[in-house]
Amino acid sequence: MRETGADVRLVRHSAAALDAAKARLDKLDAPADVASWHVDPKANRVVVDVVAGHLDDNDVSSFLRSARATAPVRVATVPEGPRTFAAGTVGGDPYYTGNVRCSIGFSVHGGFVTAGHCGRAGASVRGWDGSAMGTFQGSSFPGDDYAYVSIGHGWWTVPVVLGWGTIPDQLVRGSAEAPVGASICRSGSTTKWHCGRLLAKNETVNYSDGTVVHQLTKTSVCAQGGDSGGSFISGDQAQGVTSGGWGNCSSGGETWYQPVNEILGRYGLRLHTA
């Protein structure tokens, strides 16, 4: 291994042991100021992110004591708690359901995938122009954050992610999963096109309203209200749909996405590719 340039290091906790430890944390009742937790293979720990200024809160301290009793834990801080990125209706954006505006994720044959918190199964969807577009055929949130919308009424699907004039619109050619550290970009109806790095996978996120979502992927890309459901893409490969995060696109932040391959498998969908 060393001959190839790899660094061999014996670690105390195996990957299976760390995954099992994280699964035990997933069963704990996390307070609002515990933002998220994920396995960090390099640190050989389960990293728990706590909102800055709340480490000494009684409920946070109690959670961390329980976490340390069941898993090898490293505590980190984040500037603010995560939230989902749906928004009230604003004219001229991709789709609406009720009084919520969200963003299309990726075209699939028969419709598109998006975030589950944007609408319940059976909810009607209107397009950017306010005309009837389709219906939520399936939706899962919390726990997961994904949904499938079937379309009709003269709408059709194309294998494209909007670049919003920042770059040319991007063709989607597949959904090969990008590794941690990869460059990744997001397209959404509020803040348009932004890029960053893939930071961690299989993260449990405790949103500030008390809803918990598992197996999300964390990125350094910013997002804001109305970007929910929008596309995360690496090169020409679909990665996932925007779930939520903290911060904004003025001062920066972090955003999580629901991996797209899980959505395709859950509903038996086929990604529309170029």
So what's the pLDDT on residue 222?
97
pLDDT in tens, 231-241: 999 999 999 99
Q: Which of 107, 145, 175, 234 is catalytic?
A: 145
Residues of the chain with pLDDT under 50: 1, 88-92
Whether residue 136 is found in the same domain as residue 158: yes
So what's the pLDDT on residue 73?
94
Residue range of the domain that includes 142: 82-274
pLDDT in tens, 49-85: 999 999 999 999 999 999 999 889 999 999 999 999 8
Q: Which of 33, 36, 38, 117 is catalytic?
A: 117
Q: Is 145 a catalytic residue?
A: yes
Asked if residue 145 lies in contact with residue 116, where contact means CB atoms within 8 angstroms, the answer is yes
Whether residue 26 is found in the same domain as residue 108: no
Residue 17: give its domain's CATH number.
3.30.300.50
Q: Is 62 a catalytic residue?
A: no
Residue 123: give its domain's CATH number.
2.40.10.10
| Residue 122: Cβ-neighbour burial (10 angstroms; 0-12, 13-18, 19+) | exposed
* Number of domains within the chain: 2
Instruction: Tell me how far apart the alpha carbons of residues 152 and 149 are, in angstroms, rounded to a whole number.
Output: 10
Q: How far is CA 149 from CA 28, 152, 269, 271, in A?
A: 33, 10, 11, 13
pLDDT in tens, 19-44: 999 999 999 999 999 999 999 999 99
Q: Which of 107, 187, 228, 234 is catalytic?
A: 228
Q: Is 251 a catalytic residue?
A: no
| Residue 192 identity | K
> Which backbone phi and psi does 44 adopt, to 5 degrees?
60, 40
The radius of gyration of the chain's CA atoms, rounded to the nearest angstrom, is 19
Asked if residue 78 lies in contact with residue 66, where contact means CB atoms within 8 angstroms, the answer is no
